[in-house]
Structure 1
Amino acid sequence: MSSFAAPAASSLSEATAFIRERIRTVPDWPQPGVQFRDITPVLQDRRALRTLIDLLVQRYIDADIDTVAGLDARGFIIGPILAYELSLGFVPIRKKGKLPYKTLSQSYELEYGSATVEIHEDACKPGDRVVLVDDLIATGGTMMAGKILLERLGAEVVEGAAIIDLPALGGSKLLRDSGLPLFTVCEFDGH
């Protein structure tokens, strides 16, 4: 098994700072008290999007991975691009009721509510090695639900990858304590 690669420290810190500067904070959305970290400025800036994808590709290019899975909804933006760049397939993990074939479901708690995600029952094979992608780790519920679904199919989630970590909400600790290694591009204090 290949280990995950990381760019040189100076280029990683410069790339991280470049991406972090383009993340917009929207106060009190979707409800009062929530500081929503919006990645759409990163997606709109061709240089920022390329920098983000290049960071992820450099990390996983030599890794022993069979597929990339992405969480609804913003994991659907980054995940397929990463899968394409790595010449891998992509597995969508969607909100309940959005997938047309036979599914497995997993419910979880969010920072401000609860939800259920689903995966097609034939999305991957036992033994497949998967990188699970999302935009943000807050309470960790969404990524944990995705991990559980993939493991129920017999896959091994080798790493969770996200653009943003909000460590104060405890999600990254929860995920690491569950045995899931994480790679995040940047982090923000508070909610």
Structure 2
Amino acid sequence: MDLKSLIRDIPDFPQPGIVFRDITTLLSDAKGLRYTIDQLSEKCASLSPDYIVGMESRGFLFGVPLAYQLGIGFVPVRKPKKLPAPVYAVEYQLEYGKDCLEMHQDAMSSGSRVLIVDDLIATGGTAQATAQLVEKAGCELVGFAFVIELIALAGRKNLPDVPIVTLLQYE
């Protein structure tokens, strides 16, 4: 299946010169969505994760059905003050400022094997911060999975040395 044909390109969004890769058209296509989850499952099963960790909010869209398909749990990573129990927090740099991600401290047992899932890898900052949360929890990061990789932004170089699965790549 040609997944790229299901991704809509939006030129000059959110600012001039940027081409936004819109996954909402993929999500609304039943066969394309099923194929995407099946492909992620096929490519990630050998990593044998105990949990999928997905970042707010598009990581939830692919992480939850992937966890279901693999028969494992899902752990959400959220923006500050969205989770009710004690959390681990990591601040990370954005192009113009800082942001923060949080994960419940009791979400996984120490030593659990974790696969981090998101819709897209650009510079890798959010994925790297999520990997730090996994480390704080005393868990083993077994890999990353993304539907889309923006090659020109070289996000891979900012991630730990573990397997990285991507289904689509754009220059």
Structure 2 length normalisation: TM-score? 0.93
Determine which of 24, 32, 38 is the counterpart of 1:54: 38
Q: Does 1:82 align with 2:66?
A: yes
Determine which of 112, 117, 120 is the counterpart of 1:136: 120
User: For the Cα contact (< 8 Å) 1:167–1:173, is it kept in 2?
Assistant: no
User: For the residues of structure 1 that align with 2:152 and 2:94, how far apart are their CA atoms?
Assistant: 14
Structure 1 SS opposite 2:78:
strand
User: For the Cα contact (< 8 Å) 2:85–2:104, is it kept in 1?
Assistant: yes
Structural RMSD (CA): 1.5
**How is 1:9-158 mapped onto 2 (pairs within 5 angstroms)?**
15=1, 18-110=2-94, 114-158=98-142
User: For the residues of structure 2 that align with 1:181 and 1:59, how far apart are their CA atoms?
Assistant: 10
Q: Does 1:163 align with 2:144?
A: no
User: For the Cα contact (< 8 Å) 1:159–1:181, is it kept in 2?
Assistant: yes
Aligned-pair identity in percent equals 45
User: Judging changes above 3 Å, is the alpha-carbon distance between structure 1 residues 49 and 95 closer, same or farther for their aligned structure 2 residues?
Assistant: same
Structure 1, unpaired ranges of 5+: 1-14
Query: What is the aligned partner in structure 2 of residue 179 from structure 1?
Result: 161
User: For the Cα contact (< 8 Å) 1:110–1:139, is it kept in 2?
Assistant: no
Cα displacement string for residues 119-155 of structure 1 (whole angstroms, at most 9, x for unaligned residues): 0111111110011000000010000010110111011
User: For the Cα contact (< 8 Å) 1:132–1:161, is it kept in 2?
Assistant: yes
User: For the residues of structure 2 that align with 1:124 and 1:78, how far apart are their CA atoms?
Assistant: 19
User: For the residues of structure 1 that align with 2:92 and 2:18, how far apart are their CA atoms?
Assistant: 19
What's the CA shift for 1:112?
Answer: 6.2
User: For the residues of structure 2 that align with 1:65 and 1:122, how far apart are their CA atoms?
Assistant: 17
User: For the residues of structure 2 that align with 1:64 and 1:133, how far apart are their CA atoms?
Assistant: 14
Structure 1 length normalisation: TM-score? 0.84
Structure 2, unpaired ranges of 5+: none
Give the total of aligned pairs.
Answer: 171
